[in-house]
Amino acid sequence: MKNLRNSFLLTLVLALFFACGGSGRQSTSKIYIVTTTGMIADAVKNIADTLFEVEALMGPGVDPHLYKAKQSDTKKLLAADVVFYNGVHLEGKMAESLESLAKTKAVFAVADGISESRLISTSQFSGTHDPHIWFDVTLWIDVVKYVNLKLQEKYPEHKAHFQQNTVKYLNQLVQFNTWVAEEVNKIPDSVRVLVTAHDAFGYFGRVYGMKVEGLQGISTVSEPGLKDITALVEHISSSKVKSIFMESSVSARFINAVVEGCKQKGHNLKLGGTLYSDAMGAAGTEEGTYIGMIRHNVNTIVVGLK
Amino acid sequence: MDLVIIITACLVAVTSSIIGCFLILRKMAMVGDAISHSVLPGIVIAFMLGGTLGSWYLLLGAAAFGILTTFLIEFFNKRGGMQHDATIGVVFTSLFALGIILVTVYARDVDIDQDCVLYGELDHVAFEEGKNIFGLLIPYTILRLSVMLLCVLALVVFGYRGLFLTTFDPAYAATIGISVMAWHYILMAAVSLSTVLSFGSVGAILVVAFLITPPATAYLLSDKLKQMILLSLVFGVSGSVVGYYFAAAIDGATSAAIASVLGAQFIVVFAFKAVQKKYFSAPNIPVV
């Protein structure tokens, strides 16, 4: 029993030692908005500009499917005045926690702003949708409208300010959407095939008329089987697709396997560069904004395939 | 927030440590890890039947496969005369593989695996709205885990003799009319249900760590079952508290920090025992 007493003492000492730590956000008087992905944070920043403090939990290069919460993330969510998350199961189990948080504070899934008929249903099971909604700019326009609506409801005193910013940003997005469509149209029809690591570009392909082939399924957890790779190699070699693309938040291993396989079939498949899929680029760079991220992708795809 | 998270961790620590003591003594420590993998087909099948990713349905499928896992392990162990470690390995890899096949064939387009639909995040208990009990807001997770703990406590307190005898001396237990199989299955059912329920609240790594590490550390210090259980509770609970503040200090994942602290406890005690053995005991000289 002496051991017991010693353990208690040790615990007390260690607990006191660690209790001195602890971190959270620096308290400011500004209204604090927390989002899960950087894309949503970007939308909020465009609507509220410097009025609010906006922060995304999943930073540049973080795969939301594999995101692990830090303790400070919990504190941020608890401290937030409003929380926006993607929804349609992008955040996995975390969405359940956010739904329970919604009972006590303003928490919104931005995908709720998109009518269900415009979401891509996945597989034969009802009620499951492709979560990568940001790759269709027209869908993202709906998201921005929804965020604007929710912010106006929550902070009616800033209504005019939000409305003005939103109209400005929506104009940008509409023009940007036209630009994306024109760029993709420059790729010859026969090679307008986008081959990437996982099925993140379903919406992009649907709205801008590109065939999309992904190695992995929607989730990045299961690894592609040998059959997936062989079938893809066969397909690429026969249709003479010029380039294949990496993704910022997904491992490059499988893409390299496909390139190697095509080489053996006598088809010289190039690496077309890296696309941003589930996360934006570093903050402060052009790719660290929603428009910059999509623009980078479109430029990379057009150069690689033309 | 701090208190709610620490209490949640402690509830899982206490439940798992108690059960873990029996698992370790039966040389079945890895059964918790096995269950964390072998529930995948249960989740996928429940999803295929139910068609949604709502968690209650999937939890049921997971629990069913948790129990199936322990039954299969015991079946092959008894009928095939194999060691527990081998049967655990065979059963959980096969079931996990079956789950992967189901995902790739039937649910390729759905983000489904234990990580997404079953394993919870310890910290997120802080987001839960509580139920008002005597003026205190108590999160549902804590209520659920408390009920689980009470069930396990009841099992161990009222079934202590049966569990004790069938763990240490099954042959003797059988001769005095205690059913070794029955107690084994009762324990295994408790393991599956409590682990699956705990996975949903605190995630897999922490449950497996609580099941094995505190009992293993306690095992180094004691050779009496009651004392071992008490010691493992002390290690489990203190590890939760220290681990929580450790995570706060380095801003890491809370569950991983707690699991690391449990590992550190084991190493410290192990080193302590090694030093003690080398310098403070003289096994070759008979004690007068």
pLDDT for A92-106, tens place per residue?
778 888 888 888 889
- Predicted confidence at residue A177, as pLDDT, reads 96
- Predicted confidence at residue A157, as pLDDT, reads 94
Q: Is the pLDDT of residue A126 over 60?
A: no
pLDDT for B21-79, tens place per residue?
999 998 888 888 888 888 888 888 888 787 665 667 778 888 889 889 988 988 888 88
Contacts with B51 from chain A: Cβ below 8 Å: 125-127
Which residues of chain B form beta strands (DSSP E)?
130-133, 136-139
In a domain, A10, yes or no: no
What is the extent of the structural domain holding A241?
182-305
- Predicted confidence at residue A2, as pLDDT, reads 52
Q: Is the pLDDT of residue A21 over 50?
A: no
Residue B161: burial class (beta carbons within 10 Å; 0-12, 13-18, 19+): exposed
pTM: 0.78
Average confidence (pLDDT) over A66-73? 82
Contact: A125, B48; criterion CB under 8 Å: yes
Shared domain check, A140 and A229? no
Q: Min CA distance, B281 vs chain A (Å)? A: 17
- Predicted confidence at residue A20, as pLDDT, reads 41
State the angle between helix axes of B31-38 and B40-50 in degrees (0 to 180), rounded to the nearest 10: 30
> Two tokens at B280?
């403070």
Contacts with B231 from chain A: Cβ below 8 Å: 3-4, 7
3-state helix, strand, coil in chain B (%, to 5): 80, 5, 15
B109 in contact with chain A, both atoms CB, cutoff 8 A: yes
Shared domain check, A246 and A112? no
The DSSP H or E segment spanning A183 is helix A159-185
Question: What is chain A's mean pLDDT, rounded?
Answer: 83
Shared domain check, A271 and A136? no
What's the CA angle centered on B116, arms A287 and A73, to 5 degrees?
55
- Write down the domain spans for chain B: 2-215
The residue ranking higher by pLDDT, A198 or B72, is B72
CA gap A126, A7 in Å, rounded: 53
Q: What percent of chain B has pLDDT over 70?
A: 91
pLDDT for B182-200, tens place per residue?
898 899 889 888 888 888 8
pLDDT range class, residue A278, cuts 50, 70, 90: confident
Count: domains in chain A:
2
| A40-44, A87-91, B223-227: least confident range | A87-91
Position A77, amino acid: L
| A121-125, A268-272, A281-285, B252-256: least confident range | A121-125
Q: Is the pLDDT of residue A222 over 60?
A: no
pLDDT range class, residue A295, cuts 50, 70, 90: very high
Shared domain check, A69 and A175? yes
Q: Is the pLDDT of residue A150 over 90?
A: yes
Q: Min CA distance, A250 vs chain B (Å)? A: 15
In a domain, A112, yes or no: yes
Shared domain check, A197 and A272? yes
The residue ranking higher by pLDDT, B131 or B233, is B233
Choose among B88, B54, B83, B96: nearest CA to B72: B88
Contact: A71, B251; criterion CB under 8 Å: yes
CA gap B93, B35 in Å, rounded: 10
In a domain, A245, yes or no: yes
Shared domain check, A40 and A165? yes
Where residue A293 sits, what CATH number does that domain have? 3.40.50.1980
Mutate to test the interface with A, among B111, B112, B233, B238 (most CBs of A within 10 A): B111
pLDDT for B95-104, tens place per residue?
988 988 887 7
Chain B's closest residue to A75, CA to CA, is B1
Q: State which fold the B2-215 domain adopts.
A: ABC transporter involved in vitamin B12 uptake, BtuC (1.10.3470)
Which residues have CB under 8 Å from A204's CB, separation 6+?
A: A135, A136, A194, A210, A212, A297
Average confidence (pLDDT) over B176-186? 88
Number of residues in chain B:
288
Q: Min CA distance, B221 vs chain A (Å)? A: 8
pLDDT for B27-41, tens place per residue?
888 888 888 888 888
Q: Which residue has the tokens 């869908």?
A: A139
CA gap B213, B219 in Å, rounded: 10
Write b or e for each residue in B212-237: b if 16 or more Cβ atoms lie within 10 A of its Cβ, otherwise e. Answer: bbbbbbbbbbbeebeebbbbbbbbbb
Choose among A277, A297, A213, A225: nearest CA to A254: A225
Shared domain check, A201 and A158? no
DSSP A223: P
In a domain, A9, yes or no: no
Shared domain check, A213 and A155? no
- Predicted confidence at residue A279, as pLDDT, reads 85
In a domain, A22, yes or no: no
Show which of A179, A206, A224 is a domain's final residue. Answer: A179
In a domain, A269, yes or no: yes
ipTM of the complex: 0.71
Which residues of A66-183 form beta strands (DSSP E)?
82-85, 106-109
Position A83, amino acid: V
Average confidence (pLDDT) over A236-259? 79
- Predicted confidence at residue A251, as pLDDT, reads 65
Q: What percent of chain B has pLDDT over 90?
A: 39
Q: What percent of chain A has pLDDT over 70?
A: 85
Show which of A179, A202, A220 is a domain's final residue. Answer: A179
Show which of A122, A157, A179 is a domain's final residue. Answer: A179
Contact: B55, A71; criterion CB under 8 Å: no
